[in-house]
Structure 1
Amino acid sequence: MPPADSGAPTVFEAAGGADAIMRLAEAWHARCLADPIAEHPFSHGTHPQHTERLAAYWGEMLGGPPAFTSGLGTEAAIVRMHSCNGPHPELDTAAECCFVKALDDARIPDEEPLRTNLVDWFRWSSNLVTYGFEHDQVTDDLRLPKWSWSGPLD
């Protein structure tokens, strides 16, 4: 794991930047739609630019530019949409399995510590958005969390 002050690339950069994160969002979404458990959250429809928005959100969280919060959405809206649906461990596991397979589909470098870091990030961010708040705790100024080689920032 590169030290934070080493001048090393961000996780976003090491993964391949915006193009790679877009491929990852597309691959993960496609795998979820094909999975009998992971497809459930998408069965009610999605935003027409779902994967583009997802890629912008993931990229910003991983150290990329503020492509999501600069006009596509807010962390408060994301958390409100995903929280308070009760525990769903089978869905969580299925979504993570889809993510791990999507790393190969998206041609994310098969290098350590990158792969482990991305899986750790996916698990952490999914749990934070889904289980980290009650609706009455979500304020409009909720900040999008950031992730680094050493884990969550802040």
Structure 2
Amino acid sequence: MTSVYEAAGRLEGLTRLAAAWHTRVLADPVVSHAFSHGHHPQHTARLAAYWAEALGGPPSGLNESEVVRMHSGNGPHEEMNRRAITCFTQALTDAGLTGPVRQVLLDYFTWSTNTSMNRYHTTADDVPANLALPRWTWTGLGTTNSPHQP
């Protein structure tokens, strides 16, 4: 029984995926707009650590409310979300992630992009201070008590 985190190659595999995704979004004329103000110099490492925690890995030390705030207050942006998901799909290939874990990762990213990171359009000030980081398992969002494959 392996967790999604382990099946994705642990932190090393998720770092490859985060780097591939970041490269893809910076090259996309629509999604790159989200980074036009710049980005944290450790963006790839922090993103990989965040995904790792959400997928059954070790704590990232990142605060969910702060992460959601970074993605909030920009109004609706469905086209950007669709393109970010397309970039992620391509990044899965770039990172060599195949088999069942590929679909689980795509389901997680799609859900997160369209739900967690897309709730607070008006202002980042609307984001509650105590959000818990959503956990994703082989069967979806918090649908089991275990992060391990059934």
Q: TM-score range by the shorter chain?
A: 0.7 to 0.9
Secondary structure in structure 1 of the residue aligned to 2:129: coil
Whether contact under 8 Å (2:69, 2:125) holds in the other structure is no
How many percent identity over aligned positions?
50
CA distance in 2 between counterparts of 1:92 and 1:135 reads 18
Q: CA RMSD in A?
A: 1.6
Who is 1:58 aligned against? 51
Who is 2:107 aligned against? 120
The TM-score, its normalising length taken from structure 1, stands at 0.85
**1:132, distance to aligned residue in structure 2 (A):** 2.9
Equivalent residue runs for 1:80-119 within 5 Å: 80-108=69-97, 110-112=98-100, 114-119=101-106
In structure 2, stretches of 5+ residues that fail to align are 144-150
Paired positions, count: 141
For residue 25 of structure 1, what is the amino acid of its counterpart? A
CA distance in 1 between counterparts of 2:132 and 2:39 reads 23
Secondary structure in structure 1 of the residue aligned to 2:128: coil
Whether contact under 8 Å (1:82, 1:129) holds in the other structure is no
Who is 1:75 aligned against? 64
Q: 2:17 aligns with which of 21, 24, 42?
A: 24
Who is 1:4 aligned against? none
Who is 2:38 aligned against? 45
**1:85, distance to aligned residue in structure 2 (A):** 1.7
Q: 2:117 aligns with which of 104, 122, 130?
A: 130
Deviations 1:64-107 (A, max 9, x none): 111x22xxx30010111112322111101110011001011111
Who is 2:129 aligned against? 140
Deviations 1:88-129 (A, max 9, x none): 111011100110010111112x112x2211111001111233
